[in-house]
A and B are shown apart, each in its own frame.
Chain A
Amino acid sequence: SYEVTQPLSVSVALGQTATVTCGGKNIGRKNVHWYQQKPGQAPVLVIYRDTNRPSGIPERFSGSNSGNTATLTISRAQGGDEADYYCQMWDSSTAWVFGGGTKLTVL
Chain B
Amino acid sequence: QVQLVESGGGVAQPGGSLRLSCAASGFTFSSYGMHWVRQAPGKGLEWVTFIHYDGSKKYYADSVKGRFTISRDNSKNTIYLQMNSLRPEDTAVYYCAKNQREYSGYDAFDIWGQGTMVTVS
When the two chains form the complex, which single residue of A54, A97, A98 contacts B110, counting CB atoms closer than 8 Å? A54
Q: Which of A35, A44, A84, A97 has the most CB of B within 10 A?
A: A35
* B17 within 8 A of partner (CB): no
Residue-wise, chain B 45-57 has the 8 Å CB interface mask toward A (1 for contact) of 1110010000000
Q: How far is the CA of A84 from the CA of B106 in the complex (A)?
A: 23
Name B115's closest neighbour in chain A (CB-CB).
A42
* A23 within 8 A of partner (CB): no
B46 to A98, Cβ gap below 8 A? yes
CB distance from A39 to the nearest CB of B (A): 11
Q: How far is the CA of A31 from the CA of B101 in the complex (A)?
A: 14
* B7 within 8 A of partner (CB): no
Q: How far is the CA of A98 from the CA of B39 in the complex (A)?
A: 11
Which residues of A have CB within 8 Å of B28?
Answer: none
Q: Is the interface of A mostly helix, strand, loop or mixed?
A: strand
When the two chains form the complex, which single residue of B45, B61, B100, B107 contacts A95, counting CB atoms closer than 8 Å? B61
Q: State whether A101 and B44 are in contact (beta carbons under 8 Å apart), knowing that A42-B115, A96-B35 are contacts in the complex.
A: yes
Q: How far is the CA of A95 from the CA of B37 in the complex (A)?
A: 13
Which residues of A have CB within 8 Å of B115?
Answer: 42
Q: Is the interface of B mostly helix, strand, loop or mixed?
A: strand
Residue-wise, chain A 66-107 has the 8 Å CB interface mask toward B (1 for contact) of 000000000000000000101010100001111111000000
A98 to B45, Cβ gap below 8 A? yes
A98 to B108, Cβ gap below 8 A? no
* A24 within 8 A of partner (CB): no
Which residues of B have CB within 8 Å of A35?
Answer: 45, 109
* A14 within 8 A of partner (CB): no
* B14 within 8 A of partner (CB): no
A-B contacts, 6 listed (Cβ < 8 Å):
A45-B100, A45-B109, A49-B107, A88-B108, A96-B35, A96-B47
Residue positions of A touching B, CB distance < 8 A: 31, 33, 35, 37, 42-45, 48-49, 54, 84, 86, 88, 90, 95-101
Given A88-B47, A88-B108, A98-B47, 9 extra CB contacts under 8 A:
A35-B45, A43-B45, A44-B112, A48-B107, A49-B107, A88-B45, A90-B106, A100-B44, A101-B45
